[in-house]
Chain A
Amino acid sequence: MSSDQRRDDKGQGNRRFVRVRKSCKFCSDKVDYIDYKDTKTIGSYVPERGKILPRRISGTCSPHQRMLAEAIKRARNAALLPFATD
């Protein structure tokens, strides 16, 4: 009970955003090469509009984002992923 109250006080006083650290999914899965034919994996980094999901949102690390971008661009040429959708 007392601990609940304390938490409430904290919430009303200085509200703090605890940012959850985003992590690179490819690093945790230990992926060394992102295949452009693997649309299941790549597709999750291409939102509705067909653009490449930015790093700041997905949390992908720099080397993997580079590989991912390359793979997405190849997949687009092979009509596996859309260039743009309205």
Chain B
Amino acid sequence: MRVYEVMFIVAPNTEADVIDSLVTQLSDVATHQGARVTNVHRMGLRRLAYPIQKFNEAHYIVLTIEGSGAEIAEIERRMRVVDAIIRYLTIRIDEDLKRADKLKKQRVARAAASGGHARSRRGASSGGNAPYVESNDDEEDE
């Protein structure tokens, strides 16, 4: 199972319902091929850092897709055909997320180890260490 982030940029003169239909259309393509659209993130109308096709702003939409990878080719082909989509970018994020997860686990383990070490050395005074680690975790999740 691979996780992809498909970002596509829609021309600013496109109407809202056309954008909605594009989103559903592309999601349908993915689901038809057995993939799952886990998240649709509309970043809204944003200024472009440089003009694309003489547009200075555009709508940004990000789809998070879980699938085999075969559906990405079809989605990209569809996006290439639609004139309203002026740019698209697909990235695979499952490996990055896995690595991030690993790093986080390592950090938590290290914090726990050093907390335990400090407790054994300093005794009761470092009792405040464990809650500190936990509060850190909460921040990460937000």
A-B contact count (CB 8 A): 42
Give Cα A79 to B12, complex, Å.
Answer: 14
Mark out the residues of chain B between 1 and 27 whose CB falls within 8 Å of any chain A CB in the assembled complex: 7, 9
Contacting pair B87 A37 (CB below 8 A) = no
Count how many chain B residues have C-beta atoms less than 8 Å from C-beta atoms of the other chain: 25
Interface bits B72-116 vs A (CB < 8 Å: 1, else 0): 000000000000000101010000110111011001000000000
Contacting pair A30 B107 (CB below 8 A) = yes
Chain B: minimal CB distance from A54 (Å): 21
Say yes or no: is B138 at the interface (Cβ < 8 Å to chain A).
Answer: no
Say yes or no: is B136 at the interface (Cβ < 8 Å to chain A).
Answer: yes
Give Cα A32 to B136, complex, Å.
Answer: 14
Residues of A within 8 A of B9 (CB): 78-79
Chain B: minimal CB distance from A70 (Å): 9
Contacting pair B49 A32 (CB below 8 A) = no
Contacting pair B100 A33 (CB below 8 A) = yes
Contacting pair B49 A81 (CB below 8 A) = yes
Closest to B47 in A: A79
Interface bits B106-142 vs A (CB < 8 Å: 1, else 0): 0100000000000000000000000000001001100
Out of A30, A74, A76, A79, which one reaches B140, CB within 8 Å?
A30
Binding site for A on B (CB under 8 A): 7, 9, 43, 46, 48-50, 52, 58, 60, 62, 87, 89, 91, 96-97, 99-101, 103-104, 107, 136, 139-140
* 23 pairs, A vs B, C-beta closer than 8 Å: A30-B107, A30-B136, A30-B139, A30-B140, A32-B99, A32-B100, A32-B104, A33-B96, A33-B97, A33-B99, A37-B7, A74-B89, A76-B49, A78-B87, A79-B9, A79-B48, A79-B49, A79-B50, A79-B52, A79-B58, A79-B87, A80-B46, A83-B49
